[in-house]
Amino acid sequence: MTMPNQYILLATLSLQEAKESSEIENIITTQDDLYRSYYPTQQFISTSAKEVHNYAKALTTGFDTITTTGLLTNNTIIDIQQIIESNNAGFRTQGGTQLVDQQNKKTVYTPPQTGQKIIALMSDLERFINDDQLSDYDDLVKMALIHHQFESIHPFYDGNGRTGRILNILYLSKQKLLGAPILYLSRYLNRHKTEYYQLLQAVRDNKSNNDDWQAWLLFMLKALQVTSQDTLKTIKGIIALMLNCKQTIKAKLPKIYSHELINNLFTHPYTKVEFVTDELGIHRNTASKYLNQLVDIGLLTKHKLGKDNYYLNRELYDLLSS
Ligand SMILES: Nc1ncnc2c1ncn2[C@@H]1O[C@H](COP(=O)(O)OP(=O)(O)OP(=O)(O)O)[C@@H](O)[C@H]1O
């Protein structure tokens, strides 16, 4: 709420979430490729950067839908997976899906196999997500239960991991625990991937009865706690950098100062002449002059890639990567 322009957080943090969540599925992209790609014009530096941008798009599309309807339905879940995977296969109708341990190639878990069973289970889950009367558990606990159940149903042929992690944030937003979708668990889950996978499975193996549920819930609550603290730190860091940037431009280049310029520099860690031209509504030559002046006073650094020049806001980039 203290951010002058919340879109900055959505643009930067949702891409970080997309990066981390995709990395859990071994889709690896660098910060450079990520921020040099641009979804609106479909310019992607690499195929994995494209997948990561699709994930961010799926997330914001899901958020827009629940903001409008107040519901998180199976249709929305199908739309999300469709944007992530760029296919419209929908829920599985054929058997054969198994979860395999990547190291020893053994099957860890066989999710439900028939289309009928998947639809029945997803209908139950949809009811659980949307009808608050069905359970009086805390919403954070419900989020962890929903994630476990969704991954256990594994309703799609692919994209289940990433779709399930988007559901976490959408559920918290739907329950109005978040005003903007900016609490992203994937960094924590990625750092604790082995435990994340083990705990998902342990509940099902249930070797020590109910303790496995407890361990799973505590793991997810810890993920929420750590992520909340980290996110607040990041937001405070961005606010401080914006203030510093504003003061520096006002002092050294007062003629080019505008809110729109500051917003541009903090929405795109790597900005370009085109972005400034579009977002400030100024001529290309003027945009180019502004960016070079910002390089001269040390606020940006210039990098050439192919035909394009990119202007890096290094401090923002470092803060988001840290
Ligand atoms: N034992 C398990 N039980 C249930 N879910 C699990 C288990 N182990 C891992 N998962 C979940 O499954 C996800 C990976 O699913 P899978 O390997 O089938 O890929 P996928 O469906 O193509 O999804 P994506 O493309 O997003 O990786 C993990 O990220 C995790 O959320």
Q: How far apart are CA 63 and CA 74, in angstroms?
A: 14
Q: 56 alpha carbon to ligand 1 midpoint, in Å?
A: 19
Ligand 1 atom at shortest distance from the alpha carbon of 162: 26
pLDDT of amino acid 208: 63
Per-residue pLDDT at 305 = 84
Q: DSSP secondary-structure letter at 103?
A: T
Using one digit for the tens of pLDDT, what is the confidence trace for 178-217?
888 888 899 999 999 999 999 999 998 876 666 789 999 9
295 Cβ closer than 6 Å to some ligand 1 atom? no
Kindly report the protein residue whose alpha carbon is nearest to atom 22 of ligand 1. Answer: 158
Which residue's alpha carbon is at the smallest distance from atom 30 of ligand 1? 161
Please spell the DSSP secondary structure of 170-231, one letter per residue: HHHHHTTS-SSS----HHHHHHTHHHHHHHHHHHHH-TTTTHHHHHHHHHHHHHHHHHHHHH
Q: Is 199 in the pocket of ligand 1 (CB under 6 A)?
A: no
Compute the distance between CA of residue 278 and CA of residue 258 in angstroms, rounded to an integer: 14
Q: What are phi and psi of 127, to 5 degrees?
A: -65, -45
In this prediction, the answer to ipTM > 0.85 reads: yes
pLDDT in tens, the chain (322 residues): 777 788 888 888 888 999 999 999 899 999 899 988 989 889 999 999 999 999 999 999 999 999 999 999 999 999 999 999 999 999 999 999 999 988 899 999 999 999 999 999 999 999 999 999 999 999 999 999 999 999 999 999 999 999 999 999 999 999 999 888 888 899 999 999 999 999 999 998 876 666 789 999 999 999 999 999 999 999 999 999 999 999 999 999 999 999 999 999 999 999 999 999 999 999 999 999 999 999 999 999 999 988 889 999 999 999 998 8
Indicate whether residue 24 lines ligand 1 (CB < 6 A).
yes
Kindly state the percentage of the chain with pLDDT values over 70. 99
201 C-beta closer than 6 A to ligand 1: yes
Which residue's alpha carbon is nearest to atom 15 within ligand 1? 161
**Is the C-beta atom of 212 inside 6 A of ligand 1?**
no
pLDDT of residue 2: 77
Q: Does the beta carbon of 203 sit less than 6 angstroms from any atom of ligand 1? A: no
pLDDT at position 191: 95
Of 136, 158, 183, 147, the residue nearest 72 (C-alpha) = 147
How many whole angstroms from 65 Cα to the centroid of ligand 1? 25
Is residue 92 lining ligand 1, measured as CB closer than 6 Å? no
Cα 69 to middle of ligand 1, angstroms: 28
> Which ligand 1 atom minimizes the distance to the CA of 201?
1
79 CB near ligand 1 (under 6 Å): no
Q: What pLDDT score was predicted for residue 148?
A: 98
Q: Is 158 in the pocket of ligand 1 (CB under 6 A)?
A: yes
How far apart CA 245 and CA 39 sit, in angstroms, is 26
